[in-house]
Amino acid sequence: MAARTKKINQHPVDSATRACCGGIGTHTRECRALTSLLNGEVKSADIALRLDSAVNLIDLARADGNKVLQDLPRDTGLFQVVDMVAALGHLRQAAVLIDKVADALESEAVQR
């Protein structure tokens, strides 16, 4: 049987076609993408969308964690259950805090 060879993608994440500088890892100070980020030209809608995505991902993780918690074997140690409950609580608090950040940024944008 002939050995199969796997072709490795030389340009992951389409890095060869980046219009700003030609590829990931080759940003220079003159690079348009880097300059716009440093100058704060990121749109507030983009930030709000990313914050919303983060909260949604946390909610998905919490849902999965709750399912795992419900499916734990009866002989699971008390400290493992407590750690799982604490982790789920921290995820909840993270979602609340990210929502607060999003709300604060939104109210700042409205006041401008």
Round to whole Å and give the CA distance between 98 and 36. 24
53, containing H or E segment: helix 44-71
Structure tokens at 107: 């109210």
Q: Domain map of the chain by residue range?
A: 43-111
Residues 51, 102 contacting (CB under 8 angstroms): yes
Q: What is the DSSP letter of 18?
A: -
pLDDT at 15: 46
How do residues 6-43 score in pLDDT, each as one tens digit?
A: 554 444 444 444 555 555 555 555 555 544 544 555 67
Summarize the confidence of residues 80-104 as an average pLDDT: 95
**pLDDT range class, residue 48, cuts 50, 70, 90:** confident
Round to whole Å and give the CA distance between 60 and 70. 16
Percent of the chain with pLDDT over 70: 58
